[in-house]
C-alpha cells in the first residue's frame, strides 16, 4: 500500500512540473511517506526527518513534507521538524500546501483527483499495484491503521476495471489488488458487489495476465472467495492469509475475531479447493502476556499449515491503539529468539517445497535481466511464478520484461528457485 501511495504522490508532483531527482542532496522537496506498523519503521522515519531538517540550507531547502500512517500519531514531532504534513486520503490537497513554498506551482494547478482515483507513475512496466479500497473497520487492538487511515471505503468497480484495461492496453501482465482487508470489498458502495464478484469481473477482461491480492482477513474469507480463486485461471495460486498468532488467548486480546479452529478449517478448505496453493502469513511475536505456551502454539501452527513465507513482527506498542497502553512485558531478546524459531521452521518448509519442484517445468513472468558477467556469457533473468516464488534462470533467447516463459527448475533453494528457460 505504501509503495502504491508513493507512486500516486509522485504522479501529483510531476503533474505540477516537479522532476524526480536521484538522491536527497539534490532535492528541493522531500515527501516522507511513513509506515506506522512497527516501531523500527517509526524510528527510521524520525531519524531521517531530523537529519534532513539539520541539513537544510540557507534557503530553507529541502522543504520536508510528511504523510502516511504516522502523520497524525506523531503530529507534535512532525510539526517541529517538517514544513507540512497531509493525510494521504486528502492527496488532492497536496498542490495547495505546496503553493506556499513554491509559488510558481499555482500556474500549473488543475482539478485534483480523489486519492483512489489518482493515476500512478509506476516503477514497473509489467506489474502494477491497484488500490481497490482504503481504511479498516476491524480495529485489531495493536494496529494503528483504522486511526491513521480511517474507516473502510471501497472504490467503484467501474473505476477499477477502467484502470486495469488501460494498463493491459499498455502491456502490463500482472496486477496486485490492494486494501487493508480486500475480503470486505464492497462496503459503502451504491452497487451490489462483493470481492469474489469483483475478481470475476476482472478475470473476464481479455488478455493473458496474472492477478494477486493483499491482504485477507480470516473473518471475511468466504466459501465464494475460495471457489473463485480455484476456478479463475488468471487468479494466481498464492494467498497471503494473516493469522497473527496461534493462541486463542492472544487472538482474543488482539481482537482478531477468529479462532484457531476457524482458521484451520479455512486452511483445510483452501488446500482442498486449490491443491497447489502457496500460503503466507503474518505473525506477531512477543505480544503482551504471550507465554512460552502461547508461542509454541504459533510455532505448531507454522508446522501444521506449512507456510512458505511468514512475515514476523516483533511486537512494539503503537500510538493511538488500545494495546499501546499495555505493558510490553516480553523482552527484546525473547522476541528475537521466537522470531528465529519461526523462521527456522519456514526455511525448512520452503526448502522442502522448492526441492520438490526440481526437474519440473513452471511458468514464469519475466521481471528483468541481470547484468552479464565476463565469466557468464549467457544472461540471467529474474522472474516470478504464479505462487510468487522468485526464479533466477538462464535463457539462450533474448527475453523481454513482462513476457511469460516456461522454465525447467534445476535447483530449489530456501528462498527461491534456479532454472533454465525452455
pLDDT of the residue at 328: 92
Eight-state DSSP code of residue 379: P
User: Quick check: helix, strand or coil at residue 363?
Assistant: strand
Secondary-structure percent of the chain, ordered helix, strand, coil, rounded to 5: 40, 20, 40
Residue-wise pLDDT tens digits, 291-309: 999 999 999 999 999 999 9
The answer to whether residues 403 and 293 touch, using CB atoms and an 8 Å cutoff, is: no
pLDDT given at position 138: 93
Q: Are 85 and 67 in contact (CB under 8 A)?
A: yes
Identify the pLDDT of residue 325: 85
CA distance linking residue 307 with residue 278, whole number of Å = 7
Task: Look at the alpha carbons of 120, 121, 126, 129 in this order and tell me if their dihedral is positive or negative.
Answer: negative
pLDDT score, position 371:
66
What per-residue confidence (pLDDT) applies to 389?
Answer: 95
pTM: 0.90
Asked if 7 contacts 35 with a C-beta cutoff of 8 angstroms, the reply is: no
pLDDT at residue 379, as a whole number: 80
pLDDT at 131: 94
Chain-centroid distance, C-alpha 81? 28
Which ranges constitute the DSSP H helices of 274-331? 292-305
DSSP secondary structure letters along 86-141 = --GGGGGGHHHHHHTT-GGGGGG---PPPGGG-----S-SSEEEEE-EE--S---T
Q: Which residues of the chain have pLDDT under 70?
A: 106-113, 371-377
Amino acid at each position: 500500500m505504501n509503495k502504491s501511495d508513493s507512486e500516486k504522490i509522485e504522479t501529483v508532483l510531476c503533474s505540477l512540473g516537479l522532476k524526480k531527482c536521484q538522491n536527497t542532496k539534490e532535492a528541493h522537496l522531500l515527501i516522507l511517506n511513513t509506515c506506522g506498523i512497527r516501531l523500527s519503521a517509526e524510528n527510521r522515519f524520525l531519524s531521517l526527518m531530523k537529519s534532513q531538517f539539520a541539513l537544510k540550507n540557507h534557503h530553507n531547502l529541502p522543504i520536508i513534507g510528511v504523510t502516511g500512517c504516522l502523520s497524525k500519531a506523531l503530529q507534535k514531532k512532525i510539526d517541529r521538524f517538517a514544513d507540512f504534513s497531509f493525510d494521504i486520503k486528502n492527496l488532492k490537497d497536496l498542490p495547495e500546501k505546496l503553493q506556499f513554498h513554491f509559488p510558481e506551482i499555482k500556474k500549473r494547478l488543475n482539478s485534483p483527483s480523489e486519492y483512489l482515483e489518482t493515476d500512478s507513475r509506476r516503477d514497473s512496466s509489467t506489474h502494477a499495484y491497484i488500490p481497490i479500497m482504503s481504511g479498516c473497520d476491524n480495529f485489531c487492538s495493536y494496529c494503528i491503521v483504522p486511526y491513521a487511515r480511517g474507516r473502510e471505503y471501497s472504490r467503484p468497480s467501474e473505476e477499477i476495471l477502467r484502470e486495469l484495461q488501460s494498463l493491459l492496453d499498455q502491456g502490463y501482465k500482472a496486477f496486485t489488488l490492494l486494501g487493508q482487508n480486500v475480503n470486505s470489498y464492497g462496503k459503502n458502495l451504491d452497487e451490489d458487489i462483493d470481492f469474489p464478484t469483483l475478481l470475476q469481473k476482472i478475470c473476464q477482461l481479455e488478455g493473458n495476465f496474472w492477478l494477486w491480492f493483499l491482504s485477507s482477513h480470516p473473518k471475511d474469507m468466504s466459501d465464494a472467495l475460495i471457489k473463485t480463486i480455484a476456478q479463475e485461471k488468471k487468479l494466481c495460486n498464492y494467498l497471503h492469509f494473516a493469522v497473527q498468532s496461534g493462541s486463542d488467548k492472544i487472538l482474543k486480546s488482539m481482537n482478531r475475531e477468529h479462532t484457531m479452529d476457524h482458521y484451520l478449517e479455512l486452511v483445510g478448505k483452501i488446500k482442498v479447493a486449490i491443491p497447489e496453493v502457496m500460503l503466507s502469513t503474518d505473525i506477531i511475536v512477543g505480544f503482551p502476556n504471550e507465554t512460552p505456551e502461547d508461542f509454541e502454539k504459533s510455532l505448531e501452527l507454522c508446522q501444521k499449515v506449512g507456510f512458505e513465507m511468514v512475515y514476523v513482527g516483533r511486537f512494539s506498542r503503537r500510538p493511538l491503539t488500545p494495546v499501546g497502553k499495555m505493558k510490553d512485558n516480553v523482552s527484546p531478546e525473547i522476541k528475537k529468539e521466537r522470531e528465529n524459531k519461526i523462521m527456522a521452521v519456514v526455511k525448512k518448509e520452503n526448502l522442502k517445497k522448492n526441492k520438490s519442484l526440481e526437474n519440473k517445468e513452471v511458468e514464469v513472468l519475466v521481471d528483468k535481466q541481470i547484468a552479464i558477467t565476463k565469466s557468464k556469457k549467457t544472461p540471467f533473468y529474474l522472474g516470478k511464478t504464479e505462487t510468487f516464488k522468485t526464479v533466477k534462470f538462464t535463457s539462450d533467447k533474448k527475453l523481454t520484461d513482462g513476457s511469460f516463459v516456461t522454465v525447467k527448475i534445476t535447483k530449489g533453494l530456501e528462498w527461491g528457485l534456479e532454472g533454465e528457460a525452455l
